[in-house]
Structure 1
Amino acid sequence: MEGGNQSGVSEFILLGLSDQPEQERILFFLFLLMYLISGLGNLLIILAIYSDPCLHTPMYFFLSNLSLVDICFTSTTIPKMLNNYISKNRTIPYAGCLAQVFFFLWFAGMDSVLLTAMAYDRYVAICAPLHYNTIMTPKVCALLVGVSWFWAYNNALTHTVLLTRLSFCGHNEIPHFFCDLSPLLKLACSDTSINDLMIYTMGAMTTVVPFIGILISYVYIFMAVLQISSVSGKQKAFSTCGSHLTVVCLFYGTIIGVYFNPTSTHTAQRDTAATVMYTVVTPMLNPFIYSLRNKDMKGALRMLITKKPGFIL
């Protein structure tokens, strides 16, 4: 914790999304509503998958893990922001800020790698359906999820440890609603070149490489789908992949724009808007995206809510 001893800052001030009382009240209720919808929606997805034996497949196993990560992801940032609006106290301790950075990066990395595992699952299901059960065994699925947790953890730990080496010389206002990596690096009064380098190396391994893996998977998927003769077969294949592709575009489109541009080109308004998209909006939309066009999921949710087995949407 060398940087912590050198730093003259014991706490940071989160400026949030607005300093106007009227806007703050609107933002409070808006983000509270999105947080509750996100938490309830993802929890229902987990319970539906757990309670329906028909959904005990690799695809839904990955989806349940993604829902769990999304609950943790939103809980890392939104409760603190809501508390700031209620208490009118925008400060966060130095250690608390580092903890928020760590958990934020951990769960963001998990989202990234899990989306890749889900793309691989779809690739095997469509391109090698006869070998699906022998490739996507429970052991392989558990291994993919375990590697996701481990890699994302190491990535988050590396960035957090490097932050502790920096000095903060008095300026402690963060133009954001949580402690994010890029705004913190701008506040540092010591050299951040190593931090920037690790963003482009380990960050690339956690974000860009999985994204490329997803693109490659879908190239093969689309080639396989085009060879399907029946129209209904093509529609079923595209329907299976459509939800996943939507989430991928929402998640990666914003996160790459925030973290993989030079720090000097970042603006607080652009970064904040993009971050809201992948930290709040995308986890909230995931349950709807994955369930509204999926008959099995809709049936499981209906049975979970109504307790009437056999009544399918």
Structure 2
Amino acid sequence: MADFCLVDDSVAGVGGTALTIDAIVEPEKDNVDFISTSELSLKDTFADYKVFILGNIANYDANSLGALLRLMEERVFVKIEFDYGYCPYRGRIPHEILGKEICSCPFGETGVPALAQIYKNIKINSSHVFYMSENQMKMHNDALLGLNKKKKTVLSSCFSPKDMVLMGRLSQKTKNEKYAIIDGKGGWHTEAKGVDPSIEYAKLHNIEYDVIKTDTHHEMLHLLSDYKGLINKPIIDDTCPRVTIEAKLMGLEVIVDEMSQHITEEWWKQTPVKMVDYLSSRPKLFWETIKCLK
């Protein structure tokens, strides 16, 4: 039996969260079981795992919520925060735009009772909480009214060794003179990722650009590596957008602002070689941390 169990909304998902989960798990992939949030049962919470790892856990129903709360009250668990899961809109800005009210989640008037229960347990009972950026960690701390400093670590977006090698190789490609803007998936996703503000920025500064879209992550890396730069202007608090990191590691100039919440951190200001050293160490830090838990 595996020593660890990962509970997440989609254990076979796509996108940045899934890629970071895959990179975190890879060093211990034969020692981790996966359960989707909606399929978590009370029986699972009695299984003989040393540590439960909770990712995004918003896709619960009445049965899995009961199991989740029992797990948090009785078992050793850590939480990985990819964004702002304590809010049903996933953050203060989407809550204001889509919900048309100021976010006071999870414990205020706008909070969802089930999420308030979940985050009360995270605050009180979690053995450790991992974040994608320092600014995200601060916002969580403010929303949750404080969390023990010894229980918090900024992990950052994580990358597999295979992808690190690929990006190193793609960094040697000859670049064109254009900047890339990554298209969204339509609707709110496109709005949140700031496609229109990125286009407006390019036009205002007379920057030649293409809006690009691909079917797979590796196709995106290959296409993006052809460009001189990337413009990324999300309108939400984007905790640690991996495409900005991928672009920089592939030798692109990157135009971002403070809505990409990792850009004030020291590692982001380093050379690509030093960035690789830092980012390559993060999955190891994760496992070193949770293997010390009792």
Same fold (TM over 0.5): no
Structure index of larger Rg = 1
Structure with a larger share of its residues in helix:
1
TM-score tier, shorter chain, comes to under 0.3
Structure with a larger share of its residues in strand:
2
The structure showing larger relative contact order (alpha-carbon pairs under 8 Å, at least 6 residues apart) is 1
